[in-house]
Amino acid sequence: MASEWPDLKVLELLVAVSLQGSLGAAARSVGMAQPNASRALSQLEKSLNLALLERTPRGSKLTPAGAVVVDWSRSVLEAAERLLSGSAALRSEQLSHVAVGASMTVAEHLMPLWLGELRRRQPDVEIRLEVANSAEIFERVAAGAYDVGFVESRSVPAGLACSTVATDRLVLVVSAEHRWAARRSPVEAAELAAERLVVREPGSGTRSVLDDALASYERAEPLLELNSNAAVKISVAAGVGPAVLSGLAVEAALRTGELRAVPVAGVDLRRKLRAVWTAGRRLSDPAAELVHLARRVAPAGTRAVPTS
């Protein structure tokens, strides 16, 4: 394991080598002198204990290991961009042109992408973003605290207008040591209802979708109630028990093998992700543009809603 986190600028340089085909062109594209670029990549190779570039008299090209690291680096750089966009909105204390509320899953996995695109299109817009569970978002939108909110619940209270922006699916996840981890047949709905689960807090969109889906079955008491997806994932990975979470929230953990997905039969765990605002009120231009972008821009794991 590397003793230090890699510098993002060096990862950007490595990705540029894959795009430009040479170290010199890559260095110019990221605004770095070639000698500095060469030293930086050598240091990265030393830190990772991997040969990333094959250096020849005709230039440098990626090794097979370097090509894999480039793919991972793209994910890291995309995540860093989402972090910066989301953080900029969270720390804004100025009078905003648009006040946005987002439930936890939307805020963690979708809102940074949407806000980044909105800022590219409207660089002068000021955004205030607050994160709460879906029930709290409904209350604050109805009270006029937010211009628009984004939630995951299956139903929307009276008095609020809504627009579906994407779809998502909840996934049953377990640790690698759980008895269901190697199961071949799906877990039936009644069996899932009878299992004690690690769950999100009441009022969250994830919890309400799960409760609605299993409403006709006798339910076991939860093992734990936690107020964030991260806390639920950590508990599941530690072997506390199974959980049902958004596919967006568990995608990375499933890819690394930290969690295992278990198929479920006899219950519909799909849900709509919605924008909500006060009924009868016209959305302001930035809020309307944000809803429009949310309908068009969706990462892997969701399905954007086609615009007419």
Residue 231 within a domain: yes
Beta bridge partners of 270: 169
DSSP string, 42-53: HHHHHHHTS--E
CA distance 189 to 263: 11
Which residues, at least 6 apart from 277, have a Cβ–Cβ distance to it below 8 Å? 141, 146, 147, 148, 149, 160, 161, 162, 283, 287
Higher pLDDT, 283 or 171: 171
Residue 125 within a domain: yes
Shared-domain flag, residues 190 and 253: yes
Shared-domain flag, residues 96 and 245: no
Residue 34 — pLDDT band, cuts 50, 70, 90? confident
Q: What local confidence, expressed as pLDDT, does residue 148 receive? A: 95
Domain that holds residue 121: 85-166+279-304
Per residue, the 3-state secondary structure of 88-129, as one string, reads HHHHCCCCCCEEEEECHHHHHHCHHHHHHHHHHHCCCCCEEE
pLDDT digits (tens, 9 = 90+) for 39-94: 998 989 888 888 988 877 777 778 888 889 988 998 899 888 888 877 776 665 44
Shared-domain flag, residues 256 and 299: no
Q: What local confidence, expressed as pLDDT, does residue 217 receive? A: 95
Task: Give the residue from 44, 68, 260 showing the smallest Cα distance to 171.
Answer: 260
pTM value is 0.64
CA distance 109 to 298: 10
Q: What local confidence, expressed as pLDDT, does residue 3 receive? A: 57
Mean of the pLDDT values across residues 121-125?
83
Contact 161, 278 (CB under 8 A): yes
Shared-domain flag, residues 89 and 221: no
Q: Is the pLDDT of residue 306 over 80?
A: no
**Cα dihedral sign, 242-167-156-217:** negative
CATH, residue 89: 3.40.190.10
Q: What local confidence, expressed as pLDDT, does residue 265 receive? A: 95
Shared-domain flag, residues 204 and 297: no
> CB neighbours (10 Å) of residue 91?
10
Which tokens belong to 287? Answer: 């809020």
Domain boundary pick from 77, 94, 119: 77
Contact 294, 159 (CB under 8 A): no
CATH, residue 54: 1.10.10.10
Which tokens belong to 296? Answer: 């068009």
pLDDT digits (tens, 9 = 90+) for 201-253: 998 989 999 999 999 999 999 999 998 899 999 999 999 999 999 998 999 89
Shared-domain flag, residues 37 and 53: yes
Shared-domain flag, residues 194 and 127: no
Shared-domain flag, residues 175 and 261: yes
Q: Is the pLDDT of residue 22 over 60?
A: yes
Shared-domain flag, residues 120 and 203: no
Burial bucket for residue 296 (CB in 10 Å: 0-12, 13-18, 19+): middle
Residue 2 within a domain: no
Q: What local confidence, expressed as pLDDT, does residue 1 receive? A: 45
Q: Report the mean per-residue pLDDT for the chain.
A: 87
Q: Is the pLDDT of residue 96 over 50?
A: no
CA distance 190 to 306: 35
Beta bridge partners of 149: 101, 276
CATH, residue 239: 3.40.190.290
Domain count, the chain: 3
Mean of the pLDDT values across residues 151-171?
90
pLDDT digits (tens, 9 = 90+) for 195-215: 999 999 998 989 999 999 999
Q: What local confidence, expressed as pLDDT, does residue 158 receive? A: 92
